[in-house]
Structure 1
Amino acid sequence: MIDKLEMFIAVATEGHFGRAAQTLGISQPTLSSGIKQLEDQLGVKLIFRGSRYGGLTPEGERALVRARGIVGETRRLRDEMRATRGGVSGRLRVAVVPTALTWAADLLSRFGARHPGVRFTILSRNSSEVLRMLENLEVDAGLSYLDNEPLGRHATQELYRESYMLVCAAGSELASRSHVGWEAFRGQKLALLTPDMQNRRILDRNLAEAGVEAEVWIESSSIIVLAAKAGASDCMTILPRDIATFLAAGRPLATVPIEGGRAGHAMGIVAPRAEPQTPMIRELLAEGRRMHDEASG
């Protein structure tokens, strides 16, 4: 039954039988057969379908909520039993907003050193996708903004607060400054993340409050692209301090602290709220707490 519920969740999440089958690593006929068997067992039709996926029936919408709960509890039980037998092990799947990727790497390196039986999958996603993937059981945890999204149904652990840096070519007119204010970007060509990214919305707000009409010449979902363009053109970008420092190391880029604007936003771990938490998530939150205390101390 559990494998059939996982098939159902995958189809509802992807909205497409072919993509759901690919996600699960099974053939589409196997997936279709599994969904039909589940419908027969429950005695209701869950999915409207003819030649293609047509959405969930009203019964399917209700069943999806219960299916997520049952599959989530089953996975928690499996993790508890595995930890009892041989310590925390298995695969930890984490969705991370692009601006937190360096922190994710540090967090999971520390976690892996304590728990060598754990393997990791790290996915770069925007903040709304992080929450959607948690809701759909596609990932086990996320690293995202804690004060800009509705997180009432999630457990959280703050890691750090963002502060921002101008990143520009070493020969830029602003490169030699000890710091800049947001007003320094007036009339400058900017390369920024796409508007669906929470970071972009934060930067837009700070620029607007400084009376700056942003001249965005390049938009990308990739921070690597932004840094590369800043080093190779008269564009400049704005990035959180840690990832700016990481990308500028050994490259012809200057990083300049930005002062003023709103206080930095809290970034941290987001996980499904459960009592008790699985050993994996409990240990992840504890590692995050240690990192936060070290950074604050």
Structure 2
Amino acid sequence: MLFRQLEYLVALARERHFARAAQACYVSQPALSEAIRKLEDELDVPLVRRGRRYEGLTPEGERIVVWAQRILADRDALKNEVGALRTGLSGRLRIGAIPTASGAVSLLTGPFCAEHPLVTVEVMADLQSDDILRQLQNFELDAGVTYLHKGLADGFRAVPLYEERYALLTTTADGLAHRTTATWAEASRLPLCLLTEAMQGRRVLDDVFAEAGVRPSPRVETDSVATLFAHVRTGRWASVVPHTWLHVFGVPHGMRALPLTEPTRTVPVGLVVTTREPGSVMARALTDLARHAGVAATLEQLPGRQGAP
């Protein structure tokens, strides 16, 4: 019963709404509310600030949620550990990825699923770096794929996967189509479709444009890398895309992918997990695989620079 009560409290803290929390836990709202009230009675502290609607957790409730997340994560880790000893690794692996790196996640999940056929994988590929670290701390993810910074916060460790580099994606009708490379300054003068400024991948691009002494003025912005390709396909736009997405899409018909120079910039991307022990058996298995998966070698070469005629 205690585990169920803790699950309900964690769901309420996440959803911030009684009905949505009940739906997430597949119970009725009265059942969820009553279970949390019983937990308050057992702990002899108020956990939820109640009014006519959900008003948040009390300070005691906020602290108990942290313990609840840890207890539930340890319970799941114990089950997975015992299951792995008995029948091999099974359960669900949860990976979070920043959008620009999500194209490379399959280079991990493919061999992981082949090595652990009883495991299912859930990939959340639209997260920001801060979201990934927060969800790792809250035991909502087993691992994340994100940009690596020199000062990665205490409590995390990283396995470098590859160096993200960038290509100018344009059409074969563009004036640069006959070139083998393009400069960032040249790219800035084109009608651009770029990621939105709220995304870290865009902020990386803006830093490189600034280093080149220019500032892009995109006419279209999006939070989807796939949408960048779709806009270039119309023939009206150009874009700057991570080379990992060329691994996914190749260079589509009628397009060109030109490596960007002056400056030539790369940004490290890696697998991030928590250092907490014993931790998730899923995270340990994925970390072991990532160390020898050869992601960087697979992504070493850009696909052919020109799409099919």
How high is the TM-score relative to the length of structure 1?
0.92
Shift of the alpha carbon at 1:19?
2.9
**Structure 1 residues 20 and 265: alpha-carbon distance in aligned structure 2, compared to 1, 3 A threshold:** farther
Given the alignment of the two structures, is residue 192 of structure 1 paired with residue 194 of structure 2, yes or no? yes
Tell me which residue corresponds to 1:170. Answer: 172
In the alignment, the residues of structure 1 paired with residue 107 and residue 288 of structure 2 have an alpha-carbon distance, to the nearest angstrom, of: 14
Counterparts of 1:52-131 in structure 2, within 5 Å, are 52-124=53-125, 125-131=127-133
What secondary structure is seen at the aligned counterpart in 1 of 2:66? Answer: helix
In the alignment, the residues of structure 2 paired with residue 167 and residue 54 of structure 1 have an alpha-carbon distance, to the nearest angstrom, of: 48
**Structure 1 residues 185 and 6: alpha-carbon distance in aligned structure 2, compared to 1, 3 A threshold:** same
How high is the TM-score relative to the length of structure 2?
0.89
In the alignment, the residues of structure 1 paired with residue 249 and residue 60 of structure 2 have an alpha-carbon distance, to the nearest angstrom, of: 50
In the alignment, the residues of structure 1 paired with residue 82 and residue 212 of structure 2 have an alpha-carbon distance, to the nearest angstrom, of: 54
Tell me which residue corresponds to 1:155. Answer: 157
Pick which of 256-265 and 41-50 moved more: 256-265
Tell me which residue corresponds to 2:303. Answer: none
**Structure 1 residues 156 and 179: alpha-carbon distance in aligned structure 2, compared to 1, 3 A threshold:** same
Deviation digits for residues 225-258 of structure 1, max 9, x if unmatched? 1110011142211111121343244432211111
Given the alignment of the two structures, is residue 30 of structure 1 paired with residue 31 of structure 2, yes or no? yes
In the alignment, the residues of structure 2 paired with residue 184 and residue 109 of structure 1 have an alpha-carbon distance, to the nearest angstrom, of: 38
- Given that 1:165 and 1:258 are in contact with CA atoms closer than 8 Å, whether structure 2 keeps it comes out as yes
In the alignment, the residues of structure 1 paired with residue 255 and residue 19 of structure 2 have an alpha-carbon distance, to the nearest angstrom, of: 44
In the alignment, the residues of structure 1 paired with residue 110 and residue 247 of structure 2 have an alpha-carbon distance, to the nearest angstrom, of: 19
Tell me which residue corresponds to 1:210. Answer: 212
Q: Which runs of 5+ in 2 are unaligned?
A: 301-309
Deviation digits for residues 180-230 of structure 1, max 9, x if unmatched? 121112322211112221111100111122121211111111111111001
Pick which of 152-161 and 21-30 moved more: 21-30
- Given that 2:168 and 2:187 are in contact with CA atoms closer than 8 Å, whether structure 1 keeps it comes out as no
In the alignment, the residues of structure 2 paired with residue 116 and residue 150 of structure 1 have an alpha-carbon distance, to the nearest angstrom, of: 32
Counterparts of 1:201-240 in structure 2, within 5 Å, are 201-240=203-242
**Structure 1 residues 27 and 106: alpha-carbon distance in aligned structure 2, compared to 1, 3 A threshold:** farther
In the alignment, the residues of structure 1 paired with residue 93 and residue 79 of structure 2 have an alpha-carbon distance, to the nearest angstrom, of: 13
What secondary structure is seen at the aligned counterpart in 1 of 2:219? Answer: strand
What secondary structure is seen at the aligned counterpart in 1 of 2:102? Answer: helix
Shift of the alpha carbon at 1:177?
1.4
Given the alignment of the two structures, is residue 183 of structure 1 paired with residue 189 of structure 2, yes or no? no
In the alignment, the residues of structure 2 paired with residue 68 and residue 270 of structure 1 have an alpha-carbon distance, to the nearest angstrom, of: 19
Deviation digits for residues 125-163 of structure 1, max 9, x if unmatched? 222222232233222211111217743222321111101
**Sequence identity of aligned pairs in percent?**
36
Shift of the alpha carbon at 1:174?
2.0
Amino acid of the structure 2 residue aligned with 1:64? V
In the alignment, the residues of structure 1 paired with residue 295 and residue 144 of structure 2 have an alpha-carbon distance, to the nearest angstrom, of: 19
What secondary structure is seen at the aligned counterpart in 2 of 1:216? Answer: coil
**Structure 1 residues 22 and 227: alpha-carbon distance in aligned structure 2, compared to 1, 3 A threshold:** farther
In the alignment, the residues of structure 2 paired with residue 237 and residue 44 of structure 1 have an alpha-carbon distance, to the nearest angstrom, of: 55
Tell me which residue corresponds to 2:306. Answer: none
Amino acid of the structure 2 residue aligned with 1:82? G
**Structure 1 residues 28 and 168: alpha-carbon distance in aligned structure 2, compared to 1, 3 A threshold:** farther
In the alignment, the residues of structure 2 paired with residue 151 and residue 262 of structure 1 have an alpha-carbon distance, to the nearest angstrom, of: 28
- Given that 2:97 and 2:146 are in contact with CA atoms closer than 8 Å, whether structure 1 keeps it comes out as yes
Tell me which residue corresponds to 1:252. Answer: 254
